[in-house]
Amino acid sequence: MTGTILSSADLDPRRRKILFRAWHRGLREMDLIMGQFADRFLSAMSDEALEQFEQLIEQSDRDLLHWILDAQDIPAEFDTALLKAIRDHHTHAAPINI
């Protein structure tokens, strides 16, 4: 079970692939962070946001987690409004799975 609550049935092939990749990261914590974000926002993402999300999910879990947790400087090419939205979506106020 992936944990996703978003049905891929109504998504175009590009969004289906992104949703799958967001929920199959490698680290369970990153599955939850990226997957939950994708569940909530993927359907309404613009082409530009989709491209940025695709670039982010190709990065290593370790780097991406550090950027989201503000434990490492974000390289300029990834310091986007989308990454800020992911960071804002994951507020650290509760465990990742809530």
- DSSP H or E run through 14: helix 13-23
pTM for the predicted model, two decimal places: 0.84
Between CA 95 and CA 72 the distance in angstroms is: 21
pLDDT of residue 2: 56
Torsion of CA 37, 43, 44, 47, to 10 degrees: 100
> Which tens digits make up the pLDDT trace of 8-33?
667 889 999 999 999 999 899 999 99
Q: How high does pLDDT run on average in the chain?
A: 87
Could you give the domains of the chain? 13-89 (1.10.150.250)
Between CA 2 and CA 28 the distance in angstroms is: 10
Contacts of 37 by beta carbon, 8 Å cutoff, 6+ apart: 22, 85, 86, 89, 90
